[in-house]
Amino acid sequence: MEWLHAGRVGRPHGLDGSFYVTGARPRLLTLGTTVTLDGVAHEIVRRAGVPEHPIVRLAGIDDRTAVEALRGRALHVALAEAPALDEGEWWGRELEGCAVFDGAREVGTVSALLELPSCEVLEVTRREGGELLVPMVKDALRSVDVAAGEGESPYYCVFEADFDDAATYSAALESPEGQAVRADVPNYATGGVVVLNYELRAD
């Protein structure tokens, strides 16, 4: 089962076991929703506060002392039970692991969806190392295809090669070694091949 992070247990509110949720995703914290805390399922029996600082009480947690013992613990909601999102919206868990492309060039892989004060951003682990933050806005994202990351890859293998310029690339293809490689391709790529040629520019 896949889970969504809904926040963490914060400081108590009152004496009845209610508490603030830190790092909250308010849409996951609705009255009647079942959340897991330390592997135990609890129903949300009280929901108050504001979206930025929600307050909840969970069934089975009935006093301040119990809340204090749980401060900092993570709350999770099953993805299958999460509310439906509008078109063009995704839960962070759905985007994690997706490949990020700039045109035909693969930039890296989504490692997390972060909520910043100004907007949500994708944290991308670059192929060459390091991190990249991509704002979840139309000017930065051309398209999102979560389904493309599901199931088995249609490709048997991927080969990449860098050349100094177009002339060097053409010479390599026409060389005896290049001709031998091209002749050998049908022996293992029985379904055909996809060749992508593109220019790399240093920013």
With both helix axes pointing from N to C terminus, report the angle between 166-174 and 176-188 in degrees, rounded to the nearest 10.
70
Per-residue pLDDT of the chain (203 residues; tens, 9 = 90+): 678 888 899 999 999 999 999 988 888 999 999 999 988 999 999 999 998 899 999 999 999 999 999 999 999 999 888 877 777 777 777 788 888 888 778 888 888 877 777 777 888 898 888 888 888 887 777 777 766 655 445 555 667 777 788 888 888 888 988 888 878 877 777 667 767 666 665 54
pTM > 0.75: yes or no: no
Closest C-alpha among 97, 85, 93 to residue 149: 97
Residues of the chain with CATH 2.30.30: 92-149
DSSP 127: T
Residue 10's φ and ψ, nearest 5 degrees, are: -105, -155
The residues, ordered by sequence, that sit 6+ positions from 170 with a Cβ below 8 Å of its Cβ are: none
Determine the CATH number of domain 3-81.
2.40.30.60
First to last CA, the chain: 42
Place of tokens 């709350």: 75
Question: Structure tokens of 183?
Answer: 């002749």
Residues of the chain with CATH 2.40.30.60: 3-81
Cα dihedral: 30, 96, 73, 82 (round 10): 20
Residue range 92-149 in CATH 2.30.30: yes
Strand boundaries in the chain, DSSP class E: 3-12, 19-22, 34-37, 40-50, 53-58, 74-78, 99-102, 105-115, 120-126, 131-135
Cα dihedral: 12, 15, 17, 19 (round 10): -20
